[in-house]
Chain A
Amino acid sequence: DTGVSQNPRHKITKRGQNVTFRCDPISEHNRLYWYRQTLGQGPEFLTYFQNEAQLEKSRLLSDRFSAERPKGSFSTLEIQRTEQGDSAMYLCASSNSASGAISSYNEQFFGPGTRLTVL
């Protein structure tokens, strides 16, 4: 399967614990995005990488959230001291930048998501 993969698919944790999620993007994609989605809402942007550089982080993201993409391939999202409000689906997407004008450069392809439940 050459799509975006995410692990784990489900995570149940107690409030105050730290959790880490992994995303493996489509291999030739240089851009990677993290989103959070709650029921009945569209995806909420968290952060974005181009290769290994984290170029943007949502102002809504607290300091408890950190993301890395050390070698420009897979990425991890860590949430420290989880709170019940962190319960959500965490989605990863990847895309491929392309030189030139209009192209498919920002078509983002999503993984299956990680469902986090904080008790």
Chain B
Amino acid sequence: EDQVTQSPEALRLQEGESSSLNCSYTVSGLRGLFWYRQDPGKGPEFLFTLYSAGEEKEKERLKATLTKKESFLHITAPKPEDSATYLCAVQAPYNAGNNRKLIWGLGTSLAVNP
């Protein structure tokens, strides 16, 4: 069964303390892996798409990487405004019942203390 697991469930960092969030997946023939940020009471905000192992993308203090089994979201020198839930989702190959539907993890809740 296609599945996405994120770890840790929650992470508390001090401002400036770099760390990584993990998204592991069991999907054959990955079509894309997506990272989103979600603030409380708001819709997810798109961050990155990764398509193939070895690919990396960066945006400000965030860097996403992809292997054949997992993705990491590296946060360098985080600030309090980086506090949010970070969601990972994958797109599996098309077959009956999952066309264009994303498989979501439960997210990592990140808190950055000043």
A28 close to chain B: CB less than 8 A: no
Pick the contact of B102: A45, A111, A112 (CB < 8 A): A45
- Shortest CB-to-CB span from A41 to chain B, Å, is 6
- Shortest CB-to-CB span from B105 to chain A, Å, is 6
Query: Given A48-B101, A55-B99, A104-B49, do A41 and B106 touch, yes or no (CB 8 Å)?
Result: yes
- How many A-B Cβ pairs are below 8 Å? 61
Q: Is the CB of A31 within 8 A of B100?
A: yes
B41 close to chain A: CB less than 8 A: yes
Q: Is the CB of A115 within 8 A of B87?
A: no
Q: Is the CB of A108 within 8 A of B43?
A: no
Query: Given A42-B87, A56-B99, A102-B51, do A108 and B46 touch, yes or no (CB 8 Å)?
Result: yes
A43 close to chain B: CB less than 8 A: yes
Q: Give the chain B neighbours of A108 by CB distance below 8 A.
A: 34, 46, 102
Return the CB mask of B88-105 against A: 1 if under 8 Å, else 0: 010100000101111011
A106 close to chain B: CB less than 8 A: yes
A65 close to chain B: CB less than 8 A: no
A108 CA / B4 CA spacing, docked (Å):
18
A56 CA / B98 CA spacing, docked (Å):
8
Q: Give the chain A neighbours of B100 by CB distance below 8 A.
A: 31, 48, 55-56, 106
Please report A residues at the B interface, Cβ cutoff 8 Å: 4, 6, 31, 40-45, 48, 55-56, 89, 91, 93, 102, 104, 106-113, 115
Please report B residues at the A interface, Cβ cutoff 8 Å: 4, 31-32, 34, 36, 41-46, 49, 51, 87, 89, 91, 97, 99-102, 104-107
The 9 closest A-B pairs by CB, nearest first: A42-B104, A110-B43, A113-B43, A110-B44, A45-B101, A112-B43, A102-B51, A111-B43, A91-B43
